[in-house]
Amino acid sequence: MRPYTVICIILVIFMFTVWAQEDRSTPKQQKWKNQQRRRRVPISSARRRQKLIQPSPIPVPTASFVPVYNGDDTIVHILQAVLGVSEQAPSYNILPGKKGHCMVNGIAMYDKAVWSPKPCVTCMCSNGNELCDETVCPLLTCLKTETSSGECCPVCSQTEPIEPKDSVLMKSPHTQEEMDELLKKEEKNHKKERPKGKVLIKKKKKGKKMLQKDNTIKSETNEEEERSQEERRKAYEEEELRIEEEERRKREEEKKKKEEERRKKEEEDRREAEVNRLAMERKQREREILGLEEDEDDDDEEDDDHDYNLRGDVFRVPRRRVPGSRRPTDIHHPPLPPGCFISEITVSCSNAKLTGVPPISDPDVKSLDLLGNFITSIPKEAFNGMPNLERIDLSKNKLMSTGIDPLAFKPLKNLKRLYLDGNLLDQIPQELPSTLEELKLNENKLSSLEEDSLKDLKNLVTLELEGNQLSEANVSPLFFKPLQHVTYLRLARNKFRTIPQGLPASIEELHLENNQIEEISETSFNHTVNLHTVVLRYNQLEESRIPPLTWIFHKNLESIDLSYNKFYQVPSYLPKSLLHLVLVGNQIERIPGYVFAHLNPGLEYLYLSFNKLDDDGIDPTSFHGAHHSLREIFLDYNELTSVPGGLEDMRDLHILRLNNNKIKSVPLNCICSAEDEGDSNIEYLHLENNYINTREISPYAFSCIRSYSSIILKPQKVK
């Protein structure tokens, strides 16, 4: 009876112990475990969808993790440093990409463009989406491989080490036929080594001789193996020599081919020079023979060719008569000036130390590049020899307004692009052709814009006047009136104190950075209904100098850059259609409540780096109306001591920068909401350079973030 009682007591104690251990886990741990069980299915399905979209995703770079033990013996993995994360540097660019383009490192990639961000990875832009694929390297059977700099896959090394004799059979590559022959030889050797039992029994006296013979056979077998190994080694060396010889022969052939091409090119140049010389001599003889008769014919044709008059210093090739025809025909073009060259329809004379427009007569030329010379004047007949020019680049010369003839550009009926940047012009050239679509006059000395300066340029699309001496006092309100199709206007680095009046209604992108603008009048943008981007950084603006009705009702204004002004809080009455707001480098101390509530469809990019925001400056309602739309928030380099509230409700957030503040802790539900069971879309979370003790972070603080490599926590500042 007593043993039975003891057994029952032991069983009761054991059951009580098991029950106590199971009940020891905290409610938070149980809740987290339940969330993880419920989350398994959506995570796998989400990843399966991601694989369908990108068959070959770019591998995430490996980063070093440090296990940190908390008080409850749980482990939190923290990224050691930023170096292991393949995130681009912060970009405050607000210019929206064109439809179908991809933005890569601040560069707009056109649709179907292909580029390689790093070896083994090739990316393509497809309808605005960046699709990347990783190259799969083939398997190599050689002993030693090497990867060249900039290459993706390894290749067989040209100098493979020769293994010792004992390891040649094991490591040298063989074909199947060689392996079969080797096995047959081994079997034959074993047969030779096998003694005949009957002979040994019957002839005991000859045992010594048989043993000696057996030893002899073994030694012969070993010698044969060594010989075969030596033969294989020699064959391997011969193969290496053959490969080297083949490569040397290919290099010599390539060198001979290049030499032959160079020789042919020189020969062609000599032949062309000889043909030109003979043509010149023949033309000279024709002129001497024809004499006055040719002069009379030229006088008769002068009326027919009045639109193609050449200036006096242009060298025009004499014409030869075609049998049965009275009109002459050109046979070749004159030689170009030193420092110039021609490529199809383009003549380039960049940095050729020219002091004037070169005398070129070629009606096929459509583009003339004269950048970086010492040209001081443009006469009336400067371009008569190139009547079909579509583009002229005269940037970085010594041109003055008095040196440009009023009719210098007028005869060019096809001119579309004229670049005059970096000259000494104080007025816009007169009588520009009406076909002009792009005009650049940056970095000049323009001091006035009159009403009729661009009177005939109805087709102009791009106008750039940066780096001049323009202001509202010397720009006529009627200056922009003739410009009916201008969409891109740059007036940066001037002396404007207000927004210029009379902006064209067609304008879409306006740049006024680096001026002295202090206020914006209520009617400044009344007629610019198509405006979608305004850049006003590096001015003197304050929130009180922007009236409520300045742009609040604009339906297309999506991007505003107000960086480096004098704002003390995020301005109110923002455009309803706003998507990008850049306020970097101000003195902002507060984000008012409901300041984004009226935006539709909602703000997506908010950049507030390098300001003076603290915990009191962010209200619970500061981001009201933007929780569903915000994709990027930059709050780095401020004075925050805690993570702002409301971030856990932003389900579409991709990048959150809170680095370089004074944050001391990361509460449990400040990033991941306890109520939401889904995954967060955060790709980069920056919390480095604060005062956070990483050992005190709860292991569930970042449970909604898919990858721990997205979280940057180190280094931290020392208190």
Does residue 290 surpass a pLDDT of 50?
Answer: yes
Residue 527's alpha-carbon distances to 475, 506, 523, 557, 560, in angstroms, are 18, 9, 8, 13, 18
Structure tokens at 553: 């009702």
Euclidean distance between CA atoms 10 and 476, whole angstroms: 102
HSE of 708, CA atoms in CB hemisphere, 13 A: 18
pLDDT digits (tens, 9 = 90+) for 176-225: 556 566 656 656 655 554 444 444 444 444 555 555 655 666 566 677 77
Report which residue type is found at 196. Answer: K
Query: What's the pLDDT score for residue 251?
Result: 84
How crowded is residue 521: how many other Cβ atoms within 10 Å of its Cβ? Answer: 14
pLDDT digits (tens, 9 = 90+) for 84-112: 344 455 767 655 555 566 777 656 666 66
pLDDT digits (tens, 9 = 90+) for 530-586: 999 999 999 999 999 999 999 998 999 999 999 999 999 999 999 999 999 999 999
CB 357 within 8 A of CB 382: yes
Residue 466 burial by Cβ neighbours in a 10 Å radius (0-12, 13-18, 19+): buried
Structure tokens at 482: 């003739």
Average pLDDT in the 354-371 region?
91
3-state per-residue secondary structure call for 532-561: CEEECCCCCCCHHHCCCCCCCCCCCCCEEE
* Residue 257's pLDDT band (cuts 50, 70, 90): confident
DSSP 122-180: EEEEETTEEEEEEPPPPP--SS-EE--TT-SS-EE-SSPPPPPHHHHHHHS---HHHHH
Query: What's the pLDDT score for residue 196?
Result: 45
Looking only at the bridges linking them, the beta strands covering 65-69 and 75-79 are antiparallel
Query: What's the pLDDT score for residue 417?
Result: 96
CATH dotted code for 97-135: 2.10.70.10
Looking only at the bridges linking them, the beta strands covering 121-126 and 533-535 are unpaired
Q: Which residue has the tokens 């021609």?
A: 342
Residue 259 burial by Cβ neighbours in a 10 Å radius (0-12, 13-18, 19+): exposed
Structure tokens at 178: 């060689």
Query: What's the pLDDT score for residue 170?
Result: 40
pLDDT digits (tens, 9 = 90+) for 651-708: 899 999 999 999 999 998 888 887 777 788 899 999 999 999 988 898 888 888 888 8
Query: What's the pLDDT score for residue 310?
Result: 46
Query: What's the pLDDT score for residue 186?
Result: 58
3-state per-residue secondary structure call for 259-311: HHHHHHHHHHHHHHHHHHHHHHHHHHHHHHHHCHHHHHHHHHHCCCCHHHCCC
Does residue 147 surpass a pLDDT of 80?
Answer: no
**Averaged pLDDT score across all residues of the chain:** 77
How crowded is residue 199: how many other Cβ atoms within 10 Å of its Cβ? Answer: 11
- Positive or negative, the Cα torsion across 285, 290, 291, 296? negative
Average pLDDT in the 621-636 region?
94
Does residue 410 surpass a pLDDT of 50?
Answer: yes
Looking only at the bridges linking them, the beta strands covering 533-535 and 462-464 are unpaired
% of the chain with per-residue pLDDT over 90 = 41
Residue 652 burial by Cβ neighbours in a 10 Å radius (0-12, 13-18, 19+): middle
Rounded (to 5) percent helix, strand, coil in the chain: 30, 15, 60
Query: What's the pLDDT score for residue 623?
Result: 94
CB 588 within 8 A of CB 615: no
Contacts of 155 (CB under 8 A, 6+ apart): 140, 145, 146, 147, 148
Euclidean distance between CA atoms 226 and 220, whole angstroms: 10
